[in-house]
Structure 1
Amino acid sequence: MIELDHVSFTYHGRAEPVLSDVTLSIGEGELVLFAGRTGAGKSTLLGTINGLVPHFTGGHLEGTVSVDGVTTRSRPPREFAHLVGVVGQDPLAGFVTDTVEDELAYGMEQLGLSPQVMRRRVEETLDLLGIAELRRRALRTLSGGQQQRVAIGAVLTTHPKVLVLDEPTSALDPTAAEEVLATLARLVEDLGTTVLMAEHRMERVIPFADRMIHVPGTGEVIDGTPPEVLKDMPIAPPIVHLGRLAGWDPLPMSVRDARRRASSLTLGAPPARNTTVGEELLAASGVVVRYGPKVAVREVDLALRAGEVLAMMGRNGSGKSSLLWAVQGSGPRQGGKVTVEGKDPKTLSSAAARALVGMVPQTASDLLYLQTVAAECEAADAESGAEPGKCRELLDRLAPGIDPASHPRDLSEGQRLALVLAVQLSAAPRIMLLDEPTRGLDYTAKAALARMIASLTAEGKAIVVATHDVEFVATIADRVLVMAEGEVVSDGPTGEVLGGSPAFATQIAKILGEPWLTVDEVRSALPQEVS
C-alpha cells in the first residue's frame, strides 16, 4: 500500500537532513505507531505520505514515495485526498465549516458523493465516534477533545485507504481515547484501512499496534514489532520501564501480560506522598459558568494552598477549562465568588489579575505574538512592571539554553511552554493554572515540565493542572479533583483518586493495584540488589 524507497528530506536552511535514506514498506490493513521525541521528524515522515512534504513545506526530497501505486512526486496533495486522510495536531486549524454535521460532510462534497451516501456516512460516523449529540453544535464551542473526535470523523466519512493521524488522542480523556483507538482498530480489522499514527502517549496505542517505527532524530528509522523496537528505545511507556526494572523478557506490551508476571515482584512499603501544604491562597465558592442555556460549571467550590499541585481531571466537556478561566478572571462567570489576597480577579484589569493568577491556555502559543524570544521576554517584563531581564531569568531556570534570537514558532513544544510559563511568571503570581500542558510533549519533555512544577511549588506557589494525562498526574499531583457535567464528583489525595478508579488508574495501578501509581515508587520499594 505504501512504499518509501531511499527517501531523504532536508528543510531549506538546514544543513542536516531530517530523513536520511529511509526505505519502508507498509501493507494494507496495518496499524503502525510512529514514535520519537518532539522534533525528531515523525510529522515530516508522515507528511511525505500524502505529499504535504515537500509540496507544502518546501525543502529537498530525494527518493520515491508511493501510495497504492501512485507517487507523491507526480501529483499535488489534493489528488491524494481520496487515498490518504490526514488528522493534524490542531483540529481547529483544519476545520473549514461552522458546525459538526457540515464538517463531517465537507470532504464528501469535495469528492462529489451523492446526498444519500453523504447522509448515511454522516450518521454512521456520528455513532461510530459517539458524537451524535454534537451534530448541530458550532465547532468553536466544543472542548478540545470533542474537536479532536470531529476532526477524525471528518476524515473517516471519505473512506480513505490510508489514515494518517498526528497525536490523535492527545486531547482526549482516557475513556474517549480508548473508544477512538478501538474505532481505528475496527477500521483496520473490518475495512482493511491502513492506519499510521504518531503518538507520544504510547501506553495507549501499543496494545493496538501491529508495527512500530521509531524516529530517533538521526535521520534513520527503526522498524519492527512493538516488543522489538521498545527493547532498546530510550523513551518508553511505564509498563515497559516496569518490565526492564523487573528483568522481564520478553517485555510486556499489555496490562494483562504484566499482571501475570507481577506476582514475582517482592515490594516493600510505597514512599509517602507529600501532604504538607501552606496557607490558603485562593478560595472560590459557588462558581457558575453558562454559555447561553448550557451550564458548564455548577456552583463549584475550590480552595488552593501554597506549595500544592492540584490536578483537575474529567471527561471532555466536563467544565475544567471553563472553571480555570472563571477562577483566573478572564473568562465568564455568572455566579459565585473568587478571592485571592482579598481581591476578586474578575474585578481587576487583566494585568492586575495576571499578578494574582497566571494562566497558560490549551494552546500556549496563543500568548506569543512577537518575532523573537528576546522580544517576548522584554514585552513580558514591561507589561508586568518587572525588572528588565526577569522573564529571561525565569526562562533560563525552566528551559536553559534557548537562543534569544529564535522565533517562538521555531521552538519545540516543551520550549514554547516554558517560554509562556516564564512570560506569565514574570508578573509574580503565586497561583499558576495550566490547561492541558502536556499536549504534544514526549516523555522527556514531560519530565522537564514536572521538574518546572516542582521548582515552582518549592517557592510556595500553588499549581493547578487540567489534564487527561493520568501518568503525568501520578508524577506531579498532591491532590486530584474530578469533574463531570460541571460538578465536582471527587476531590482527594492522588493515590486514593487514581488508584481506586478504573477510568483514571495508571498502568502501574492497573498492574499492582493500590497504592502503587508510578515506576519510581516501585523502584524505591524493590530490594536494593534488584533496583
Structure 2
Amino acid sequence: MIRFEDVGVTHPERSRPTLCEIDLSIPEGELVLVTGPTGAGKSTLLGTINGHVPRFTGGTLTGQVTVHGRDTAANPTRAMADLVGVVSQDPAAGFVTDVVEDELAYGMEQLGVAPGVMRQRVEETLDLLGIAHLRRRTVATLSGGEQQRVAIGAVLTAHPRVLVLDEPTSALDPTASEEVLAAITRLVHDLGMTVMVAEHRLERVVQYADMVIDLDRCGAATAGPPRTVLSASGVGPPVVMLGRLAGWEPVPLSIREARRHAPVLRARLPRSPGDGSAAATGPVLLTARGVTVTHGSTVAVRSLDLDIASGEVVAVMGRNGSGKTSLLWALQGSGRRSRGSVAVDR
C-alpha cells in the first residue's frame, strides 16, 4: 500500500536531513503508529505520504514514496486527495463550512462526485462514526472529540485508501480520545483502511497498533511489531517504561497486561514506613473567593473558592470545555473574571 524507498528529507536552512534513508513498506489495512522524540520528523514523514512535503514546506526529498502504486513526486497533492485523507492536529482550523453535513459533503464536491452518491456517502459516514445526531449542528458548537470525528468524516466521504492523522488526541480529554480511537479502529477493522498516526500520548494508541515506526534524532527509522520496537526505543508509554525497568518479559502494552506482572513487583518493593499523609506545605500564597467566569451566556467557572499554599501542587481536571483554561487564566489575572477576587501574597 505505502512504500518508502531510501527516502530522505532536508528542510530549508537545515544543515542535516530530518529524515534519512527511510526504507520500509506498510501493508494495506494496518494501523501504524509513528513515534519518536519531539523534532524527530514524525509530521514530516506523514507529510510525504500525500506529497505535502516537500511541495508546500520547501526543502528537498530524495528517494521515492509511492501510495497504491502512485508516486507522490509525480502527482500533485490534489491528485492524491482521492487516495490519501489527512486530518491535522487542529481539526477546527480545517473546517470550511458551518454545518456538519455540509462539511462532510465539501470534499466530494471538489472531486466532482455525483449528488446522489454524495448523499449516500454522507449518510454512511454519519452512521459509521456515530455522529448522525450532529448532522445539523454548527461545527463551532461541537466538543473537541466531536470536531475530531467530523474532521475524520470529512475526509472519509472521499473514500481514501489511506488516512493520515497527526496527533488526533493531543487536545482531547480521555473520554473524547476513546471516542476518536474507537472510530479509528473501526475504520481499520471494518473497512480495511490503512491508518498512519503520529501521537505523543502513546499509551492511548499503542495497544491498537499493528506496526510502530520509531524515528530517532538522526532521521533513521526502526519499524516492526509494537512490542519489539518499543522494547528498545528511547520513547514509550509509561506502562512500557515500567515493564522495562522491572525486567518484565514481554513488556506490557496496556494496563491490563501490566496487572499480570503486578503481584511479583509488589512483593519485591519495600513497604513504606510512612502514614501516607501529604507532604507538608507552607503558608497560603493564593486565595480565591467566589471566582466566576462567563463567556456570553455560558458559565465556565461558578463561584469558586480556593486556597493554594506554598509548595503545593494542584491538578486541575475536567472534560474538554469544562472551564479548566478559563479558571487558570482567571487566577493568573490576564483572563476574564466576571465576579470574585484573587489575592496573591508575595
Q: TM-score higher than 0.5 here?
A: yes
Partner of 1:74: 74
Distance between the aligned counterparts of 2:270 and 2:124, measured in 1? Answer: 51
Structure 1, unaligned runs of 5 or more:
343-429, 431-531
Whether the 8 Å contact between 2:170 and 2:201 is mirrored in structure 1 is yes
Say whether 1:231 aligns with 2:231.
yes
1:324 is aligned to 2:328: yes
Shift of 1:214: 0.4
Q: Which deviations, in whole Å up to 9, do the C-alpha atoms of 1:445-466 show, x marking residues without a partner? A: xxxxxxxxxxxxxxxxxxxxxx
* C-alpha separation in 1, matches of 2:227 and 2:83: 30
Task: Give the AA of the match of 1:289.
Answer: T
Q: Match of 1:2, as an amino acid?
A: I
Partner of 2:310: 306
Residue type of the partner of 1:236? G
Amino acid at match of 1:202: L
Distance 1:197 1:17 in 2: 22
Q: In the superposition, relative to structure 1, how do residues 137 and 297 fare at CA in structure 2: closer, same or farther (>3 Å)?
A: farther
Q: Which moved more, 1:7-16 or 1:129-138?
A: 129-138
CA distance in 2, matches of 1:104, 1:77: 20
Q: 1:119 to 1:177 in 2, by over 3 A?
A: same
Cα distance change of structure 1 residues 236 and 3 upon mapping to structure 2, 3 Å threshold: same
Q: Does 1:339 align with 2:342?
A: yes
Residue deviations 1:236-269, cap 9 Å, x none? Answer: 1111122112211111122222111211121334
**Corresponding residue for 2:192?**
192
Question: Alpha-carbon deviations, 1:69-121, whole Å to 9, x = none?
Answer: 11001111111111111111233332323344433332222223344544454
Q: How many residues align?
A: 341
Cα displacement (A) at 1:30: 0.3
Deviation at 1:40, TM superposition (A): 0.5
Quote the residue 2:288 is aligned against: 283
Q: 1:298 to 1:104 in 2, by over 3 A?
A: farther
Cα deviation, residue 277, structure 1:
4.2
Deviates more, 1:324-333 or 1:253-262: 324-333
The aligned amino acid for 1:230 is L
- Matched to 2:65, the amino acid is V
SS at match of 2:49: coil
What CA distance in whole angstroms lies between the structure 1 residues aligned with 2:195 and 2:312?
41
Alpha-carbon shift at residue 153 of structure 1 (Å): 2.9
Letter of the structure 2 residue corresponding to residue 31 of structure 1: L
1:172 and 1:180 map into 2 onto residues whose CA distance is: 9
In the superposition, the TM-score normalised over structure 1's length comes to 0.59
CA-to-partner distance for each residue in 1:281-305, whole Å, 9 max, x for gaps?
131315252434x444444444333
The residue type equivalent to 1:281 in the other structure is: L
SS at match of 1:219: coil
Letter of the 1:219 partner, please give it. Answer: G
What is the distance in 2 between the residues matched to 1:302 and 1:118?
Answer: 53
- What does the per-residue CA deviation read over 1:34-58, in whole Å, with 9 as the maximum and x for residues that have no partner? 0001110111111111001111111
1:220 maps to a residue whose letter is A
- Distance in 1 between the 2:191 and 2:81 partners? 18
For the residue of structure 2 that corresponds to 1:196, the secondary structure is strand
Change (3 A) 1:30 1:96: same
- Superposition map of 1:49-198 within 5 A: 49-126=49-126, 128-129=128-129, 131=131, 135-140=135-140, 142=142, 144-198=144-198
Give 1:474's aligned residue.
none
Task: Go from structure 1 to structure 2 and tell me whether the alpha carbon gap of 1:75 and 1:126 turns closer, same or farther (over 3 Å shift).
Answer: same
> Take 1:269 and 1:125, find their aligned partners in 2: how far apart are those partners?
54
Normalised by the size of structure 2, how large is the TM-score? 0.88
The CA distance in 2 between the partners of 1:13 and 1:233, in whole Å, is 29
How much has 1:60 moved relative to structure 2? 1.4
**2:217: which partner in 1?**
217
Higher helix share: 1
More deviation in 13-22 or 52-61?
13-22
Counterparts of 2:306 and 2:296, CA distance in 1: 21
CA RMSD of aligned residues (A): 2.6
Task: Judge conservation of contact 2:291–2:337 (CA < 8 Å) in 1.
Answer: no
